[in-house]
Amino acid sequence: MANENEKISNQIAKYNTNKAGVETIDRLIPAEVKDYAKMHGKFSRIGINIWEYGADNKMTASAQASLEPYECKRLLNAITSGIFGTFVNNTKVHNYEAKKDENGLVPVQQITIAKQDKDQNGNEYKLPWLIQISNGRAKPLDNEGIGYDKKTYKSEARLQIRMSNKDIYKFMSSTVSFIDAWEKFVLEVLYRKKLSLEKEAEKNG
C-alpha cells in the first residue's frame, strides 16, 4: 500500500544525459459532458520540461512548454517516418492579467522539435533530434495569445537537448500511449455521464 504522504508524480516519460534531462507531464483536462465527443478540454495539454545539471548534479536551469495531444501524435508519426525537418515550432503568449508583471510583460514560451542531419559545418549529427525550449517575458500584441513585441522580449531561459532516433521514439511512444489510454478512459466516463443525463431528462419530461 502506498504511503499517503508520498507525492504523486504526473511524469509520463523521461530522458536523461549527464548534463540535461527532458520529461513529458500529464496536464490533460477532460471536456465537459456536453462536449463528450471532444474528450479534451480547451486547455488540455502535455507539458514538456527541460533542465540542465551542474557539476554537483543539481539542477541549474529549467524551461517549460506544452503541446496539444494531437501534436504529440503527429510528432510520433514524423519520428517513425524517418524524414528530416522541423515538426514543432510553437510560440505561446500567456496574455492573462494574472500573468502580467509590473511592466506589463507576460510569459512567452517557445518550443522547437526538429530532426537535423548536419550542423552548420556540414558534420553529421550523431544525435539528430533536437528539442529546444525558450522561456521569457514580453509585451503582448493582442488578446489571442499569439503575438508579442519582440523589442520588449526578455529571455529567462533557453535550453536544448539532443536525442537519438531510438530514444526519442521510446520517449514519444510512451507519451502517446498514455494519451491514447487517457482518451479511452475519459471517453467512457463522459459517455456514461451523458447517457445518465439523457435518461434523467427523459424521466423529467
Q: Say how far apart CA 172 and CA 193 lie, in whole Å.
A: 31
Give residue 172's pLDDT. Answer: 98
pLDDT at 145 over 70: no
Q: Say how far apart CA 93 and CA 143 lie, in whole Å.
A: 9
Q: Say how far apart CA 72 and CA 13 lie, in whole Å.
A: 12
Give residue 202's pLDDT. Answer: 81
pLDDT-derived band at 143, boundaries 50, 70, 90:
low
pLDDT at 8 over 70: yes
For residue 158, how many other CB atoms are within 10 A of its CB?
14
Q: Whole-prediction pTM value?
A: 0.90
In 3D space, the residue among 162, 173, 152 whose CA is nearest the CA of residue 22 turns out to be 162
pLDDT at 66 over 70: yes
Give residue 54's pLDDT. Answer: 86
What is the grid cell recorded at 63? 524551461
Give residue 42's pLDDT. Answer: 94
Q: What is the pLDDT of residues 84-95, one digit of tens each?
A: 999 999 999 988
Q: Say how far apart CA 147 and CA 138 lie, in whole Å.
A: 10
pLDDT at 98 over 80: no
Q: In the predicted model, what is the mean pLDDT of residues 176-204?
A: 93
**Least confident among 44-48, 64-68, 145-149:** 145-149
Residues 6+ positions from 152 with CB-CB distance below 8 Å: 105, 138, 139
pLDDT at 32 over 90: yes
Give residue 112's pLDDT. Answer: 98
pLDDT-derived band at 96, boundaries 50, 70, 90:
confident
For residue 49, how many other CB atoms are within 10 A of its CB?
18
Give residue 97's pLDDT. Answer: 77
Q: Residue 183: exposed, middle, or buried by beta-carbon count in 10 A (0-12, 13-18, 19+)? A: middle
